[in-house]
Amino acid sequence: MSILSFVVPTIFTQQNAQSVARSTCRSLVNLFVPPYKYSAVFSHQRAFHDQCKMGKGDVKLLGLWASPFALRVRFALELKCVDYENLEENFGAGKSELLLISNPVYKKVPVLLHGDKPISESLIIVQYIDEVWTDGPSILPLDPYDRAIARFWAAYVDDKAYPYMRAIITADGEEARAEAIAKLKECLMVLEDAFVKSSKGKPFFGGDEIGYVDIALGASMEWSKVIEKAFDVKLFDEETTPNLLAWIDVFLAHPAIKDVMPTTDKVFEYAMNFISPPSKKAAATAAN
C-alpha cells in the first residue's frame, strides 16, 4: 500500500494536523516494523495516549534537548501522559538561576519541578513519576525481584554504558577511542543477554510495555547512531546483539518516544562540539 494513497485522502478531510501526522506515522511505521509487533505493541498505548494529558499539579522539566538523561524523564512523562512544561536550559548562556536553586548539589539537568518540589537525577525522577502517576502503565515491574533486577540493569547502563559512550565521543586519540568502543561493545553484549532474560520474548526489557531499563538505555540510542556514523563503527549488529538491534527500531517507533527523541542529524551536529579536531574532520567527511 502506498503511503500517498493513505495520506492524501486524509488531507482533504476535516481531520486535524495531529491526527494526520499520527496516520502518516502509523503507515510509515507499518512499512518498517513487522505488522504483528506494531499492532501488538502500540494499539493499547495509542488508546491510552488518546485520552492523554492528566496533570497532578504544576509540572515542569528543566532539561536539554540533546541530553539522554533529560530524555529519560521526557519519555516517562510522555508514557504517563503527564501535562508538563519543557524548559530548555541554554548552556551557552550559563546555567539558569532556576537550575542552580533547584539542583544546588550537582547543578545539572534534568530537574523535575513538581509544584515547588525539585527532584534531580534522571533515574530517581523516573521512579518518582512512576510512583506518582499510577493511572498509566507501570514503568517499573510490579514484582519486587523483577523490579530489583530492572534497577540493577539501569544502574549498569549508568555506570558502564554511558561513560564509555562519553569516552568514545571525547576521546583524545584513536587508540583511546578504539579502547572505549571495545569496552562499550562488551557492555552491549551483556545488555543483549539481559534483554533476552528480561523481555521473555516480548518487544521490550519491560515486556509488552516500555519499562525502566528500556528508558534508561533507549535514551542514548540517537547518540549510539551518532557514534556509529561519526566513527564508522557498528555498535549493534546481527551477530553480537541481534535482539537489541530489533529492540532499537521498536523502541524508537513507539509514540511516546518518537514525538520526543531528537533526530540523528540534529544530535550529530551537536556532537561535533565535543569531538576532537582530527576526528571531527573525519566525521564531517563521513557525514557527507
Partner 1 sequence: MGEGLKVYGFSISPFTRKVLMTLNLKGIKYDYVEEDLNNKSSDLVRYNPVHKATPVLLHKGNPLPESLIIVEYIDETWTDKPLMPVDPYDRAMARFWANFIDTKLVPSIKVAVLKECEEHEHEKKIEEANQWVKTIEDVLGNKKFFGGEKIGYLDIAAIWLVGWVPPMQEAAGWQLINKEKYPNLSAWTEEMLSHVTVKENLPHRDPLYAYYVWRLSGFKPELTPK
Per CB under 8 A, residues contacting partner 1 are 105, 114, 117, 119-121, 124-125, 127-128, 131-132, 144-145, 147-149, 151-152, 155-156, 190
Query: By C-alpha distance, which of 188, 272, 210 is closest to 74?
Result: 210
Q: Which is nearer to partner 1, 104 or 173 (CB)?
A: 104
Closest approach of partner 1 to the CB of residue 229, in Å: 29
Return d(Cα 155, Cα 149) in angstroms, integer. Answer: 10
Q: Which is nearer to partner 1, 146 or 249 (CB)?
A: 146
Closest approach of partner 1 to the CB of residue 38, in Å: 33
Is 164 in contact with 183 (CB distance < 8 Å)? yes
Closest approach of partner 1 to the CB of residue 234, in Å: 23
Return d(Cα 29, Cα 260) in angstroms, integer. Answer: 16
Q: Which is nearer to partner 1, 216 or 267 (CB)?
A: 216
Backbone angles phi, psi at 212, to 5 degrees: -60, -50
Q: Which is nearer to partner 1, 33 or 150 (CB)?
A: 150
Closest approach of partner 1 to the CB of residue 145, in Å: 5
Q: Which is nearer to partner 1, 172 or 193 (CB)?
A: 193
Grid cell listed for 175 = 587508540
Sequence-ordered list of residues with C-beta below 8 angstroms from that of 140, at least 6 positions apart, any chain: 127, 130, 147, 150, 151, 211, 212
Closest approach of partner 1 to the CB of residue 152, in Å: 6
Task: Classify residue 9 as left (phi > 0), alpha (psi -120 to 50) or beta.
Answer: alpha
